[in-house]
Structure 1
């Protein structure tokens, strides 16, 4: 089979396309014939050795995929050959086949194509867990989404609206804000122009925002927290801005009566599988109702995977990027 390989840590340009043996599945795994694979920020870190997991060389990046079950391990009872599924792989999805643990696989709901399914799990799973379990977002509360045009950001905008929040989308250009507006954002802030704190004060009548969703990090981290409401919750989702991980003076949460809340959806899905399954039942229901509309903005052939990862790493993407394997 064909697979995109990382043979040494470095930039995306170092990735190569090669013929390799098909994976041998374990009793608790399925063999997935990959039709499409989502591109995510961890892919950019993993190939440079900056992620918390470092697979042995050579490895294929790619943390999520959608396709058809080609084989099932003897301990798998809920899936069969021919099922259309989406799966979280950790790595290995930028290949024609990948072995996936059965507990990381979900049937693709009727009416969802492979490309949408490949763009769904990580972004919507992360944002749903963040807003439901971690923030306990309530109807009528105000939600600020930083990096609102990216994959997880757009998912947070849509989920926040579905949960009844007033959503303020913040991004670095008018073009990106147009994408967030189309996803349902109520208010828009171009933070490349500065004045984030003042604009938030204006939009909230001086009260601040109840929940801040931050997948970006960087220099806006503290400024955003200084705009939080009493009893507010700031969600630490990721650090797409790169550079140093931001720090926060410890007196700020005290003075605001606010919480700084970490979001690690992968660990949540493993530790609380029933809650994660309930989240996806709700997400699939909202998708069927037309309330969630995943945006796949660019599609790449398998041989162009390096360009896809580089595009995301340079923050040149809106919505999700997908590699079409078949």
Structure 2
């Protein structure tokens, strides 16, 4: 089968996701070409397609092939790469370009496939677990016994956060958007699960932590940020890693009037108020961290140790053929999925 990739020529809806032939190149010094067997789908990919992802504009522009994570077999290696050979089973990360049958990356962005993960599970592992790891261990640093609130707790990052929080000895409170997600969140380590489709989110959050939360992890944006901050304890940390509520749940195109309104109602955090409240607001974008080799290697080394020990399990995986990439985006944007979506070339 010919080499192929997904290309987005310009910002827009699902129709902008086109399959094109991929001209393969030989790996440069220190690089590896991987024939992909599975490719992780992330909400950031949808944001890229809509033309709203800053680092995509900064690093690539149009046209762009989205995709941050993949698994497969080594096809060829460049000069200086001596610890991998064609046929080796690997998974890795890439700053864009992952939606393709072949991906070329620097050697340090690849890792041996763990015995406990399938190709599909491994392809959906790095982005969510690195996001969760960075949020919890690099930024929040919760102490054992801390009470932590996780929004979207049954999704990819949310389910990773629940597991890592449990390893850190925290009391985890998870928020889910539907009753069908409650058991998934509980199984992954949530001591309390708030089903906001059936109960008042903030009344339940207050009941679960009357003194406030040591850490709140929020990728929703303006729909919850203000209240997330108000429910912090003293001291407390709000960690922000996305703005999902600003974007559409169907149709695939941003509503610019809604975006403007949401931007206006996004809370601005004043340093004097933060100091007086004894709170912190922290935020990050994982795509800016891929070149931080030490962070990447240390984080994944600890995560993979936990995988091998059975302390961390990969999210539930739903697969889509590469040709059905638009269906995968539509499903992810709907907010009804559990775990990770993966493209299979």
Contact 2:95/2:290 (<8 A) preserved = no
Match of 1:178 in 2: 183
Partner of 2:326: 306
One of 271, 284, 287 as aligned partner of 1:263: 284
Deviations 1:255-303 (A, max 9, x none): 42010011333434423x3243222222112112222122234110111
Gaps of 5+ in 2: 247-258
Whole-angstrom CA distance in 2 between matches of 1:15 and 1:26: 28
Residue of structure 1 in register with 2:111 after alignment: 106
What are the within-5 Å matches in structure 2 for residues 118-197 of structure 1? 118-193=123-198, 195-197=200-202
What is the CA–CA distance in structure 1 between the aligned matches of 2:32 and 2:73, rounded to whole Å? 10
Larger deviation, residues 57-66 vs 42-51: 57-66
Whole-angstrom distance in 1 between the partners of 2:202 and 2:273: 15
Shift of 1:99: 1.2
Displacement of 1:47 in angstroms is 1.6
3-state SS of 2:244 partner: coil
* 2:267 corresponding residue in structure 1: 247
Look up the SS of the partner of 2:32 in the other structure.
strand
Tell me, which stretches of 5 or more residues in structure 1 are unaligned? none
The alignment status of 1:214 with 2:218, answered yes or no, reads yes
2:24 equivalent to 1:3 = no
Shift of 1:130: 1.0
Measured on the aligned residues, the alpha-carbon RMSD in Å equals 1.9
TM-score, normalised to structure 2, is 0.87
Contact kept in structure 2, 1:4 and 1:17, CA below 8 Å:
yes
Runs of 4 or more off by more than 6 Å in structure 1? none
Contact 1:200 1:209 in 2 (8 A): no
Q: Greater CA deviation, 119-128 or 235-244?
A: 235-244
Matching residue of 2:251: none
Q: CA deviation at 1:176?
A: 2.3
Deviation at 1:249, TM superposition (A): 4.5
1:23 and 1:314, CA in 2 relative to 1: closer, same or farther beyond 3 A? farther
Shift of 1:24: 4.0
Q: Distance in 2 between matches of 1:176 and 1:213?
A: 18
Separation in 2, partners of 1:255, 1:317? 40
Cα separation, 2, equivalents of 1:90 and 1:274: 16
Assess if the C-alpha contact under 8 Å between 1:171 and 1:177 holds in 2.
yes
What displacement does 1:116 show? 0.8
Q: 1:90 aligns with which of 92, 95, 118?
A: 95
How far off its partner does 1:66 sit?
0.5
- 2:312 aligned partner: 292
Separation in structure 2 between the aligned mates of residue 249 and residue 16 of structure 1, nearest angstrom: 41
Whether the 8 Å CA contact 2:121–2:317 is kept in 1: the answer is no
Tell me which of 217, 235, 255 is aligned to 2:239: 235
